[in-house]
Structure 1
Amino acid sequence: MTSLIIEQFICRSDNFCVILHDPMTGETASIDAPDGERIAARLDSGNWSLTHLLITHHHHDHVEGIPALTKSGSVEVIGPKAEAGKIDGLTRTVGDGDSFDFAGRTVKVISTPGHTAGHICFYIPDEQLLFAADTLFALGCGRLFEGSPEDMLTSLRKLGSLPDATRVYCGHEYTKANAAFAVTVDPDNATLADRAKEIDELREKGLATLPTTIGFEKRTNPFMRADDPGIRKTLGLEDATDLEVFAALRAAKDRF
């Protein structure tokens, strides 16, 4: 089995479009649909026909392109069962623990509430790929628009249990802003400091900071390290619970 071809590119202001293409079967998927015209143009440039749309949550900047990309009527649009009433055009709904086939590969569905109540992520074990949308960002996590700190902490722990080598694609290019915050709460983390410098260099060149990996996020992302003594000391929460530390981190980032 040949590896999937992965095309990642910016659309709108900071959304990532991610297209998956299997050269053996011709099956092609888009992770979310932030910009139908831009995605369609990239598909045309590769002479690819879209077969699947994998939708993570109902926010406008992730579903706006569904109508433009499904005009042919032959695209399977798979999205969260818990948000089916908020997303037009779904042909199949899925929830936590469900799986389906894409190009001969099993895609597992992981429920990750927090950013929205029904947010899901897509995980392809054979390729060690996670599409985390607005749950897990490089050095950050999504804002809690509909869920609680406990929801998001539980969701991040689910993702953190995946193999460290898992490559993570996210919904937005937020890494530079996330790094600026992360170094304030984890100032003694040399790996994070090096990553922050690398991010600055990448963005100065107009290059993407993604993908990242689960293992790297567990070493550098403060939202995945609520039990870290250094972060706790910086926050003055040495004796707090992990949930209290996480909630404080999220509140601090919201004010940052």
Structure 2
Amino acid sequence: MLTINPIHAFSDNYIWCLADHENHRALIVDPGQADPVVKHLEAEGLVLDTILVTHHHPDHTGGIARLASLYPDCRIVGPADSPFKGVTEPVQAQDLVTWQNLSFRVFHVPGHTLDHIAFYSEGPVAGRPVLFSGDTLFVCGCGRLFEGSPAQMRKSLDALRQLPDATAVYCAHEYTLANLRFARHWLPADSELKAFEAHCQDLRDRGQPTVPSTIGAEKKLNPFLRWDDRNLVESAREYASQRGLACATDDDVFAATRHGKDNF
């Protein structure tokens, strides 16, 4: 049986551990710190054999060198064209990465960074497909555009939006309540967002993560996946008109929404 569990790092990072308990093997996603990973593996009786890297930022890669020294047979799978040079198995769009009985398809999703990739498997894991989205797609949010353009990011998110609705979205940060504060500001009449915010606040009050979400939920709730939603478009156009921004295309709507979040 395969399980996925979060390992907490820094103030709000999630390092994901995909574990095969029968064979005592573990796959880790984006280990920005080594110590919490080592403690988790030892507590669970697991041996690390694979690390997946979504992009080069230090809060996703900072623990890799130490983990590689502790688990020398561990392969490190990550973007082929990246400032991070610790990858031992470079991959690019549409490559398949196998682990145990799973196959992960690689998506190139530039926007947050130019090297960003995501890993998708039909699984199932706990009965559903899984997506490790890094900092591209968050619960009710998306990554800030440090390197890519709005058009690149919207295209990346559109590719993820095509995945099955049941796909569990495992992102790398607990940003949900902050994302929802913006989403509720942008779409104040959206009753589903209001109800979801209350649900997520309850989870956090009980010390529980709001991750994973699902692609289906994100399509309904996430403003950064709703560039073709009438209500979202109206909010983006109003915002853009007040600031002299273009808002004629899907890319413009997305860019105005991202601009709104950056300045919220």
What TM-score do the two structures reach when normalised by structure 2? 0.92
CA offsets, 1:111-156, max 9 Å, x none? 1000000100011112200000100000000000000000100000
Deviations 1:52-83 (A, max 9, x none): 00000000100000011111311000000121
Is residue 109 of structure 1 aligned with residue 106 of structure 2?
Answer: yes
DSSP 3-state at the match of 2:81: helix
Give the Cα separation in 2 of the matches to 1:75 and 1:88.
15
> Which residue of the partner structure matches residue 161 of structure 2?
160
Q: 2:252 aligns with which of 230, 237, 244?
A: 244
Matched, 1:82 2:81: yes
Greater Cα offset, 102-111 or 217-226:
102-111
Shift of 1:23: 2.6
1:94 pairs, out of 91, 96, 111, with 91
Q: Which region of structure 1 is more displaced relative to structure 2, 188-197 or 18-27?
A: 18-27
Match of 2:139 in 1: 138
The 2-side partners of 1:141 and 1:20 are apart by: 23
1:21 deviation in Å? 0.7
The runs of at least 4 aligned residues of structure 1 exceeding 4 Å deviation read none
Give yes or no for contact 2:21–2:46 (8 Å, CA) kept in 1.
no
Matched residues in 2 for 1:39 and 1:222: separation? Answer: 33
1:243 Cα deviation after fit: 0.8
2-structure distance, mates of 1:201, 1:100: 36
Q: How does 1:1-256 map to 2 (within 5 A)?
A: 2=1, 4-71=2-69, 72-83=71-82, 86-127=83-124, 128-236=129-237, 240-256=248-264
Q: 2:205, 2:258 → 1: CA distance?
A: 27
RMSD over equivalenced CA pairs, Å: 1.3
SS in 1 for 2:234: helix
Q: Distance in 2 between matches of 1:201 and 1:5?
A: 24
Residue in structure 1 matched with residue 243 of structure 2 by the alignment: none
User: Identity of aligned pairs, percent?
Assistant: 40
Following superposition, the deviation at residue 204 of structure 1 comes to 1.8
SS at match of 2:42: helix
Distance in 2, matches of 1:226 and 1:108, equals 26
Q: Is the 8 A contact 1:105 1:126 kept in 2?
A: yes
Q: Distance in 2 between matches of 1:124 and 1:64?
A: 25
Q: How many residues align?
A: 252
Given that 2:137 and 2:171 are in contact with CA atoms closer than 8 Å, whether structure 1 keeps it comes out as yes
Instruction: Flag structure 1 segments of 5+ consecutive residues without an equivalent.
Output: none
Q: Is the 8 A contact 2:8 2:36 kept in 1?
A: no
Unaligned ranges ≥5, structure 2: 241-246
Give 1:33 deviation, angstroms.
1.0
Q: What is the CA–CA distance in structure 1 between the aligned matches of 2:223 and 2:16, rounded to whole Å?
A: 25
TM-score, L = length of structure 1: 0.95
What SS does the aligned partner of 2:248 have?
A: coil
